[in-house]
Amino acid sequence: MSPSRRPTTSLITLAATGLLATLASAQDFNATPPHGAAYNQTPAFENQTRAPVMSGDLALTQTVLVEGLEHPWGLVQLPDGNWLVTERPGRMRIVSAGGQLSDPVEGLPEVDNRDQGGLHDVSVADDFAETRRVWWTYAEPRGDGKNATAVATGILSEDGTRMEDVQRIWQQQPAWESTKHFGARIVHDGEGHIFVGLGERSDPEPRQYAQDPQATLGKIIRIDAVDGTPAGAGIDGALPEIWSTGHRNIQGAAMGPDGQLWMSEHGPKGGDELNLIKAGGNYGWPLVTYGIDYSGAEMGVTQQEGTIQPVYYWDPSPALSGLVFYDGEMFPDWQGQALLGGLQSQDVIRLAIEDDRVTGEARHVRGIGRVRDLEVADDGALVLITDHENGQLVRITPEG
């Protein structure tokens, strides 16, 4: 491993009084946007948006473990305490707990890294110490300027320098000439399958496929983790891997403490969503949304029979990416709560959830940068990556 800059530490205190209190107030991150009624939609139930603001008066220590990552996208901790990190241009690296950055892992497939494309999520199963098996998603070139999300798996060599026995186990269909909305988070179900949340490629024409049961744009799929065999929800007339439909661009995914699957996705202008995923469910896009088009034009309706409402939505959008439910000892008051990364809001969003409803929202480490992914370390610290040309891997702990 090549040395990186020495880890650096700073203290961020979100005080409950004075000027800093504004940083954790409803007027700051949940204020009604001045964009008119079409943007300030009416929620379907209480606390579906702008839930009560929880206290943010917690002093936090930020330690930069490594910097110089080029648009990092995915993050997972290995049993030895090191971290696997992807960089969107097509590289996967190991970051040691001490802040050393490895050379790129060899043996990965070619990616289309234009715009939002490239190497995306990375994941390992609980048996990594024995199998050393890794999964990742990426924008796969498909010829004539077209591309689509793909899922691959391989075995990380014992010395961590090379990915061996690499196999692409799944391809999104149809491929499209677009450089946006690939998704694509991976979640293990603990039963030998993986869920993958997929984007609908953004443009007006392909986004309609989010409602097409014979396409995997704008879907969540479930497949066998080793060979990609479809293991979907058994929806009549649908491809056998499809678990749910009607999604825009999923960039956060996790199993909740109750064993349920949760995913977060970008809305258009407004309407970012946190969804509780049900087998066979239709989540509405592009027919149903709490956002509007970037041009200002209205898009669809906010509620429609036969579609599932988001548990929570944001207006304006924080641009969600990364989702984890806290399970650790460093932040006992956060136990079981959802933590989401904000790209545009440049912070960590914390949600208290009871009986599948959000009861409170808080923001932390405001201004830290574009939070692309976040995970809870084995010792209970929160670790995140910032999506910049000079991206960082940052460890968040309580002060002291």
SS3 category, 164 = strand
Is residue 135 within a helix (H) or strand (E), and if so which, with residue range? strand 133-143
**Which amino acid, 30?**
N
Residue 225, token pair as written in the block: 């983790």
Q: CA quadruple 98, 104, 107, 112: dihedral positive or negative?
A: positive
DSSP character at residue 105:
P
Nearest Cα to 2, choosing from 94, 107, 108? 94
Residue with tokens 């209480």: 46
Residues near 347 by beta carbon (within 8 Å), at least 6 away in sequence: 29, 318, 363, 364, 365, 366, 367, 368, 371
**Whether 176 contacts 146, CB under 8 Å:** yes
Q: Enumerate the β-bridge partners of residue 9.
A: 63
Do β-strands 312-314 and 272-277 pair in parallel, antiparallel, or remain unpaired?
A: antiparallel
Residue 3, token pair as written in the block: 């040395």
Given the residues 181, 193, 247, 364, the one annotated as active site = 181
> 256 exposed, middle or buried (CB, 10 Å; 0-12, 13-18, 19+)?
middle
SS3 category, 21 = helix
Cα dist. 374→183, 281, 347, 381 in Å?
16, 27, 11, 10
Residue 170, token pair as written in the block: 């799944």
Is residue 204 within a helix (H) or strand (E), and if so which, with residue range? helix 204-207
| Residue 181 annotated in active site | yes
- Whole-number Å distance between alpha carbons of 344 and 63: 22
Q: CA quadruple 296, 274, 24, 381: dihedral positive or negative?
A: negative
Residue 288, token pair as written in the block: 């149903």
Q: What is the largest CA-CA distance in the chain?
A: 58
- Whole-number Å distance between alpha carbons of 255 and 196: 12
Q: Known catalytic residues?
A: 181
